[in-house]
Amino acid sequence: MSTSFPASEVAGVDHDAAPGRRAGSPRAKTSWWHGRSGLVLPLIMTAFSTYLLHGILTMEVPEGTDFPGPRFFPGILMVAGYLLAALLLLHYLRSPEPAEELSDRTHRTYTDWSAVAWAVGGFLLFALTLEFLGWILAAALLFWCVARGVGSKRHLFDISLALVLSSAIYLTFGVGLGLNLPSGILGGGF
């Protein structure tokens, strides 16, 4: 007499069990908060945006200040912060991200000390050379160091993009808003 079993029973797989669990393993009871630890980020962003709102509302602005004024850019950051916080909140409420089950040998997180060194070193280099190199070159160097730290291998593209972005920032803040950003060797300062 021969008995046939479905393939899932032979392999010991329970298709009704949670992903990553075998048949017969105890199911962990999960609460509504399971997989929603990411809700902390929208909370932090909302708190920061509220801090900006308080600063904008209590800021003393002299009469006759031209547009855009000192409230404009913090206002943009505040609105963007509230918008991103709302979008993240909706994302984590609609699709929670359950934690992965890990074996004893794997680590859930690790620190990439090389990336940290490139980013911190780039910032220190930026701070030390800002007056001499000027905003455009020092900020481009910082951008390149951070890109290198996070693993980019396209050095020519990174430095080209860095120069374009730092120049755009210089033009926006230095020329457009009249803020004093150091021009360094490009401006004939040294």
CA-wise closest residue to 123 among 149, 154, 151, 159: 149
Residue 129: half-sphere exposure toward Cβ, Cα within 13 Å = 15
- The larger pLDDT score, comparing residue 85 to residue 69, is at 85
Q: pLDDT tens-digit profile of 133-173? A: 988 999 999 999 999 998 899 989 999 999 999 999 888 88
> What pLDDT does residue 92 have?
84
- CB neighbourhood size of 58 (10 A): 7
Q: What is the pLDDT of residue 8?
A: 47
The token pair that represents 75 in the structure block:
């206002």
The per-residue b/e assignment along 108-118, b for 16 or more CB within 10 angstroms, e otherwise, is eeeeeeeeeeb
Give the pLDDT score at 21: 47
Interval 76-113: pLDDT, tens: 999 999 999 999 899 888 887 766 655 555 656 667 78
Specify the higher pLDDT residue, 121 or 32: 121
What tens digit of pLDDT does each residue of 16-30 get? 444 544 444 455 566
pLDDT value at residue 148: 92
Average pLDDT, the chain: 79
In this structure, is the dihedral angle defined by the CA atoms of residues 15, 19, 20 and 21, taken in order, positive or negative? negative
